[in-house]
Amino acid sequence: MPKKRKSRDQDGIYRRPDSQSWWASYIDAGGKRTRRSTGTANRRDAEAILAKWKLENYRAQQWEEQPSRTFDELMLPYLKYALREKRQNPSGIRAAARQLHRAFTGVDLQAISDVDVRRYAEARRQQGAAASTVNKEVGLLSAAIGHANRQWGWRLQNPAKGCRLREPEGRVRWLTRAQAMRLTEEARREPRTPHLADLVQLALHTGMRRGELLGLEWERVDLQQRLIYLEGIHTKAGRRRSVPLNAAAYAAILGRARFRAEHAPGTRWVFCRRNGLRIGDVKHGFASACARAGIEDFRFHDLRHCCAAWLVQAGAPLAQVRDLLGHSTIKMTERYAHLAPENVRLAVGLLDAESRLSHVDESTPRESLDVVA
């Protein structure tokens, strides 16, 4: 008789089709059903780990005893979860974890205070790390502790809360139309990167990120509707969006279509080499084109700033710019608000009207006030 498979609603270990490790299901100290990976493919080891967790929970329930947990016990399983479930930059998560590991490996989590986290942040700044980089590292520690408390039944204080550094305003580097035209012309002259000019044009006129462009597949390009479709797995924010193509962007896509038809008709990638393989980066070609165009301190990502700046200057509402660029919040888009001074000029003009009214004598007949207004 076949062995009955253990339900995930019962205490015990079980397999998941997407994992090589055994998973455990048990009731945590707060009375909540918890399911987590044991981190091992050995069944006996997994059963021993589950027994240890259940004993710790029993002690926490009966005697309010908090077991000793090290940074490594927290971060190693959390990283597996974060890299599997979260739609974030994997290399960024690993880089932040490496920095935290150097400072906190082997340390009891209950011994880490907010003072320790602030000292860590200050030390990283002294090493030359940007405030945004340090905040990502502190944020990773905070997220791991929060996840452990919610999902694993741990009862840890979170010393990383409130320890983020003040970040300077985000970089807004953009080009004039004349500079952008010069850059595109120089990109077209790059002999080893025939795709560069089309890539620059698409970035300027869609605001898409470099990874979104280089990872673009033909099945997500609708030439008839003049749209590019991005699913959550393709975007930084993890949200799907559609990107309309104006005349310049459409011409760039047609340029790539002609290249594909001539050199690699079977490729799935919009930006590919003659052999059909996906293009990985354009760093050197882009830097050379910028140098010949006389443009300094300009990165590929700044093409996205150009798109946003041009839209705001043309009077596009910030909410529309947010939706096109795929920002997660309007706050990220507000960095471009200063590029629309006419909106502020109109607002200040209202004060002029109020000022004129305030100087009208109270004895002025109502009909005169109506004329002034």
The number of beta carbons lying within 10 Å of the beta carbon of residue 51 is 12
The list of the chain residues with pLDDT below 50 reads 1-2, 4, 368-369, 371-373
Q: Which residues touch 358 (CB under 8 Å, ≥6 apart)? A: none
Query: Looking at the domain that runs over 178-296, which CATH code has it been given?
Result: 1.10.443.10
pLDDT per position as a tens digit, 268-309? 999 999 999 999 889 999 999 999 999 999 999 999 999 988
Residues in the chain: 373
Contact 163, 112 (CB under 8 A): no
319 sits in which H/E element? helix 318-325
Query: How far is CA 245 from its chain centroid?
Result: 23
Percent helix / strand / coil, the chain, rounded to 5: 55, 10, 35
Q: What one-character DSSP code corresponds to residue 16?
A: -
Query: How far is CA 321 from its chain centroid?
Result: 17
Domain locations in the chain as residue ranges: 12-58, 71-151, 178-296, 343-372
For residue 359, the model assigns a pLDDT of 57
pLDDT per position as a tens digit, 7-25? 555 778 888 888 888 888 8
What is the C-alpha separation between 80 and 68, in angstroms, rounded? Answer: 21
Q: Which residues touch 347 (CB under 8 Å, ≥6 apart)? A: none
For residue 336, the model assigns a pLDDT of 79
- The structure tokens listed for 306 are 């150009």
Q: Which residues touch 128 (CB under 8 Å, ≥6 apart)? A: none
What is the C-alpha separation between 187 and 43, in angstroms, rounded? Answer: 58
The number of beta carbons lying within 10 Å of the beta carbon of residue 184 is 19
For residue 321, the model assigns a pLDDT of 85
For residue 313, the model assigns a pLDDT of 85
For residue 183, the model assigns a pLDDT of 96
Contact 204, 248 (CB under 8 A): yes
| Amino acid identity for residue 337 in this structure | A
What is the C-alpha separation between 322 and 334, in angstroms, rounded? Answer: 9
- Residue 104 CB-density burial (10 A; 0-12 exposed, 13-18 middle, 19+ buried): buried
For residue 373, the model assigns a pLDDT of 39
What is the C-alpha separation between 32 and 159, in angstroms, rounded? Answer: 24
The number of beta carbons lying within 10 Å of the beta carbon of residue 77 is 19
Handedness of CA 184, 186, 191, 192 (dihedral sign): negative
Phi, psi of 269 (to 5 degrees): -95, 135
Residue 259, helix vs strand vs coil:
helix
What is the C-alpha separation between 337 and 334, in angstroms, rounded? Answer: 5
For residue 351, the model assigns a pLDDT of 63
> CA-based angle 125:130:134, to the nearest 5?
70
Alpha carbon distance, N-terminus to C-terminus of the chain: 91
Contact 206, 305 (CB under 8 A): no
For residue 91, the model assigns a pLDDT of 79
For residue 191, the model assigns a pLDDT of 79
For residue 1, the model assigns a pLDDT of 45
Q: Which residues touch 44 (CB under 8 Å, ≥6 apart)? A: none
The number of beta carbons lying within 10 Å of the beta carbon of residue 159 is 22
- The structure tokens listed for 124 are 């990283």
For residue 323, the model assigns a pLDDT of 86
